[in-house]
Amino acid sequence: MQSLGRFGMDTSSTKKRMLLILELLYKTTDESHSVSTVEITDYLAGKGFQIDRKTLRSDLRLLISMGYDIVVVKSSPNKYFWGERTFEIPELKMLLDAVSSARFISETKSKRLTKKIMSLAGMQQREQLKRHVRAIGKTKSDNKGLYYIIDTITEAINRKKKISFQYTEYNGRKEKILRNDGEVYILSPYVLYWNEDYYYVLGYSDKRETVTAFRIDRMKTPKIMEEDAVPKPEGFDVSAYSNKVFQMFSGEEITVELECDTSLMKYVIDRFGIDVETEELSEDKFLAKVPVDLSPTFYGWVFQFGGGIRIIGPEEAVDEYKEMVDKAISVK
């Protein structure tokens, strides 16, 4: 039985008609692409709704009064387009680029997310975005259970519970295997953290008895345990931890003195932050004192500048760096 309004109007039919108007405006229009009353009535006729322009104008006024951001362009006939959207084109472009370049998101998930992000734009804007969407060329994760892993870890963080999981690596034949013969790791998760194209979970490791990090795309079948998580260490700061360990590699914390070319100041600030302790030595050189964990990752960061950044102290760091370089170039 049809629902009739106050004046005998089929309210069910009216709602459907208005939804079609909203759908047309949202999906196909923007500030640069409007539709006329004639185009709207033709569209509705194709969907089985025959109405005159007076009824259409009444529908549009009602939708506008309900808060929908429909902009009227006064002309003959009038034209209409959907006004402000949740995301602007540059914002959607940044989201698409982030998804395309994120290594921890599998190729399949990347395509699904891209499609969802594109749906937030109008039809004309989608065409514009499609011309800019391209594969970044980075290796994508093959972990198809990524969403499940993120969801499980997030729930454990919210419930303040430990998680158990196995960790994977590759052998010499590029086959994925379980680390340490399938050892089960126990972690009190604190936060999910994106660093250098990969997603990590930071937390307290029962085995290592310290805060450490695991890449989530290398985790296998994480499970929430009944045991309560170990509370965060007092004063624990995620950003400070990230700056200290460089991409989550653990080592011995120490303050290192770096003699740097002035042209490389931007890279030192990018890595250690604007508050990094520095001292100008000359027009061409400056000294930086940075707290880091001595590790191959830190030494690799220094090495990439081809002598533009030099470790000058303490002696322990200098000797360890030299030893690592010697091992890399030694010929047996």
Catalogue all structural domains in the chain, each as residue range(s) with its CATH number. 11-82 (1.10.10.10), 89-130 (no CATH), 159-236 (no CATH), 246-329 (3.30.70.240)
User: What pLDDT shows up at residue 6?
Assistant: 40
Residue 106 CA to residue 101 CA, distance in Å, equals: 11
Residue 244 CA to residue 292 CA, distance in Å, equals: 5
Contact, 263 vs 308, CB < 8 A? yes
User: What pLDDT shows up at residue 222?
Assistant: 93
Residue 150 CA to residue 115 CA, distance in Å, equals: 21
User: What pLDDT shows up at residue 62?
Assistant: 87
Give the chain's radius of gyration (CA, Å): 29
pTM, rounded to two decimals = 0.54
pLDDT averaged per 10 residues in sequence order, the chain, 332 residues = 42 83 83 84 88 86 85 84 75 77 74 81 70 55 73 92 91 79 93 79 89 88 94 79 55 82 86 84 90 82 91 90 81 56
Residue 330 CA to residue 322 CA, distance in Å, equals: 12
User: What pLDDT shows up at residue 118?
Assistant: 81
